[in-house]
Structure 1
Amino acid sequence: MSIKKEILKTIGDLLMEKLKNLPDGLPDLMWFDKQMGQFVPPETDDTAGGTPEAGISLPLPAVLMEYEPFAWQTTGGNTQKGSGNLKFTIYCEHLADSFPGSPVRDLALQHFDFVAAVHQVLQGLQIENVMSPLTRVLDEEDLAPDGVVFSVISYNTTIFDHSTSRTRNHVMVTNPGLEVKYKEESSRPVPAVEIPAFLT
């Protein structure tokens, strides 16, 4: 299995399991997937991002994960390790007012609590022999005034790819044009050695 596929599946399954029945009336996580621009309308996609639009068909809250660039180096036995960031975008519905005095202020700011719940699952998460503990290195908040609010958190990690290790990729290559000759008996005469008689 691809190392990236294994990590994405493991993290997705864990988030869907842990982000259920949360305290303080927080909603359950409804959707996890690979980030593929699901919230960027095709007509406005400039490949540089975009803002989520109200009415997107994904159920909310949702978490989308992407791999940022990883720098790879080869280690012993032809295995590799890569260092880089995993980026998680957390999308929540946002239909209430958050100004001081608003009767629905706590509801409007609830997405911060949900993002904190996601972070509590991810910070320090590791997969033995596959991924080192996740460490938060960056976060940012949505500024767009629409019905969907999102937060982005990036975690630094190192992933270990053993798929090219010598034990898995060791192939004996034979050359059919190579003629192997074994040492033949020498044609040179063997000198006779006189064995002296025993002294009596």
Structure 2
Amino acid sequence: MAVTLRPRGVQAACRCSLHARRKDHTVNTPIAALCFLCACLAFPGLAATYHVAPGGSDASDGSESSPFATLQKAADAAGTGDVVSIAAGTYQKVYANNEGVTFRARERHGVVVDGNGGADPLFDGAGDITIVGFVFTGRTGDIMTGMVRARTGWTFEDCRFESSRGKSEGLAFSDPVWGGKSGARYHGQALHLSKQCG
């Protein structure tokens, strides 16, 4: 008996099929079902995609047709290997509790995380986070935490950091090298930094 996992599309749909070769005997259905279950549990790396949009609801399931409203709700739902796909709009600060999550703007620089003049970091969280196509803006304050507090293994692709006031603009690095992992990485066309003086 062979068990085949076939992920479909971007979302992790565990489509499994059992193929049994029959010679002169029949396949025991309970044993086949048990093998099927074990195979599905053996591949937890199949990733899910959660969706966020300004018109969504945090009571939703985060699917494309029923997106979450906040980055925080998606960050709480997403696990290692998952992707959070975000529609253009303005969002509030977020703490990513689980490592290994990718946060991707559907439209380049269409996702704006606005601190509204607050002093807290606009994005913080666990290690190995990837952020693609975001704009971070509107943070003030004298605490040296940065607009984004980059942890071990964070990756930034084509992000902008702008309109920061105070002593701490741009990025602050925490644990730049830890446990043999590299620190924050930058990919894509550019990492744009700008600061408002005053």
Greater relative contact order (Cα < 8 A, sep 6+): 1
TM-score over 0.5 (shorter chain): no
Please indicate the TM-score interval, normalised by the length of the shorter structure.
under 0.3
Q: Give the TM-score, by structure 2 length.
A: 0.20
Which one has a bigger Cα radius of gyration? Answer: 1
* Structure (1/2) with the larger helix percentage: 1
Q: Give the TM-score, by structure 1 length.
A: 0.20
* Structure (1/2) with the larger strand percentage: 2
